[in-house]
C-alpha cells in the first residue's frame, strides 16, 4: 500500500483539528497539559483508526451503507484509504460537535480555560483566522479544509461528504464567503454571476465556479487563460480571487506545524525496531495492543492475516 497509516496520521490530525475549528496548539510550558480542543481532535483520529482496526482494511470502505463501495470509482484508488478515513473523521466530528452543544461546551470556553497552559507564541499572526474558523458551521469547515488544506478535488471531497462535485463547489463558495466575512467582521456577498468583460464574441462568460476552480488549480488550460484575461480587466473579481488564495495559503501555513509535530502516543503506528519486516513484527506484537495490530495490517502479508483476526 502506497500510503501507510504512519504517513497518513499527520494529514488526519490536520483535518480533524480543522473540522473542530481547533487551531494547532502553541508549544506548552514544561509540565503543562494539552489543551482540551487539541485532545478532542486527536481523540477523533484515534476513534477513526480504532474503527479501521475493528473492521479490517478490507471492511473499511468508502460506502455509507446505502451503496456498493465497489461501484465507487475512487474506492480502489491509492487515496481510497485516505478518503475513507476523512469520511469517518467527518462523521465522528459531527457527533462530537452535537454532543458538545448538548452539554453547553463551546470551543471558545475550552480555549479560555486552557489558556494558562499555553506559552506565548507568534500565534497572534493568525488571530483573525483563529477567531473566524470556529464561527463557521462544521459543514462549511469540512469543505474548506478538504479543498484548501488537504488539496482534494471536488470529486474526492464529494466522496468524503457524500455530495456531487457541483454541490461541493456551491458549498465551497458559501464557506469562503462566510470565512472571509468572519475575518473582516462584515458579511461578504457572493459573486453569483460574473459577466464577461472585453471577451471575444461567442466565448461564454466567466462564472463564479470557474473562479473557484482557478484558485484550486482545477481548470483546463483554455479556460485558465480566459480567466486570467478576465481578471486583468476586472479588479473586483481579481481582489476576490486573491482573497480566496490568501485564505488557502494562510490556512496551510497555520496548520503546517501539525505535519512535523511529534505524533501523540495514542496515534503512533511507526515500527518499533529497525528493519522493515522486523519492525512490523515488533509493532504487531501483543505488547503493543490494537495500535500494533493496525500497523500489522499494512505490513508483510504473513502478518496481515493474524492482525485481522487475532485477539486484542
pLDDT of residue 284: 44
SS3 for 11?
helix
Residue 190 · residue 177 · CB < 8 Å: yes
**Residues with pLDDT less than 70, the chain:** 1-4, 26-32, 56-78, 104-126, 190-202, 269-312
| Maximum alpha-carbon separation in the chain | 71
Q: Alpha-carbon distance 74 to 279, whole Å?
A: 30
Phi, psi of 119 (to 5 degrees): -75, 150
Q: What per-residue confidence (pLDDT) applies to 126?
A: 61
β-sheet bridge partners, residue 118: 28
3-state class of 21 per DSSP? coil
Instruction: Tell me how many degrees the CA angle 172-209-231 measures, rounded to the nearest 5.
Output: 115
How many residues in total does the chain contain? 312
Question: What does the pLDDT look like over 147-178, one tens digit per residue?
Answer: 999 999 999 999 999 999 999 999 999 999 99
**Cell numbers given for 243:** 482573497
DSSP per position, 55-68: HHHHH--S--SSS-
Please tell me the predicted confidence (pLDDT) of residue 292.
Answer: 53
pLDDT tens, residue by residue, 21-73: 988 876 655 445 777 888 999 999 999 988 887 776 555 555 544 344 434 44
Predicted pLDDT at 110 = 52
Which pLDDT score is estimated for 77? 54
Q: What confidence score (pLDDT) does residue 312 get?
A: 42
Q: What is the pLDDT of residue 106?
A: 47
Amino acid at each position: 500500500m502506497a500510503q501507510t497509516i504512519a504517513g497518513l496520521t499527520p494529514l488526519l490530525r490536520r483535518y480533524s483539528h480543522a473540522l473542530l475549528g481547533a487551531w494547532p496548539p502553541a508549544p506548552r510550558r514544561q509540565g503543562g497539559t494539552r489543551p482540551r480542543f487539541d485532545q478532542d481532535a486527536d481523540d477523533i483520529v484515534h476513534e477513526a483508526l480504532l474503527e479501521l482496526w475493528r473492521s479490517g482494511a478490507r471492511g473499511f470502505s468508502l460506502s455509507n451503507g446505502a451503496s456498493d463501495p465497489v461501484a465507487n470509482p475512487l474506492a480502489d484508488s491509492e487515496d481510497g484509504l485516505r478518503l475513507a478515513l476523512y469520511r469517518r473523521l467527518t462523521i465522528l466530528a459531527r457527533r462530537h460537535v452535537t454532543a458538545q452543544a448538548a452539554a453547553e461546551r463551546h470551543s471558545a470556553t475550552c480555549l479560555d480555560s486552557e489558556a494558562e497552559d499555553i506559552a506565548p507564541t507568534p500565534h497572534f499572526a493568525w488571530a483573525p483566522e483563529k477567531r473566524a474558523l470556529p464561527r463557521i458551521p462544521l459543514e462549511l469547515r469540512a469543505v474548506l479544509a478538504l479543498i484548501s488544506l488537504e488539496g482534494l478535488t471536488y470529486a474526492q471531497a464529494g466522496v468524503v461528504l457524500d455530495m456531487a462535485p457541483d454541490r461541493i463547489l456551491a458549498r465551497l463558495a458559501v464557506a469562503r464567503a462566510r470565512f472571509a466575512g468572519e475575518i473582516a467582521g462584515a458579511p461578504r456577498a457572493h459573486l453569483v454571476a460574473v459577466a464577461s468583460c472585453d471577451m471575444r464574441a461567442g466565448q461564454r462568460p466567466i462564472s463564479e465556479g470557474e473562479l473557484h476552480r482557478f484558485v484550486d488549480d482545477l481548470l483546463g488550460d483554455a479556460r485558465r487563460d480566459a480567466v486570467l484575461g478576465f481578471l486583468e480587466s476586472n479588479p473586483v473579481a481579481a481582489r476576490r480571487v486573491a482573497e480566496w488564495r490568501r485564505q488557502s495559503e494562510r490556512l496551510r501555513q497555520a496548520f503546517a506545524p501539525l505535519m512535523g509535530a511529534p505524533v501523540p502516543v495514542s496515534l503512533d503506528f511507526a515500527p518499533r525496531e529497525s528493519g522493515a519486516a522486523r519492525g512490523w513484527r515488533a509493532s504487531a506484537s501483543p505488547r503493543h495492543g490494537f495500535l500494533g495490530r493496525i500497523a500489522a495490517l499494512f505490513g508483510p502479508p504473513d502478518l496481515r492475516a493474524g492482525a485481522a483476526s487475532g485477539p486484542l
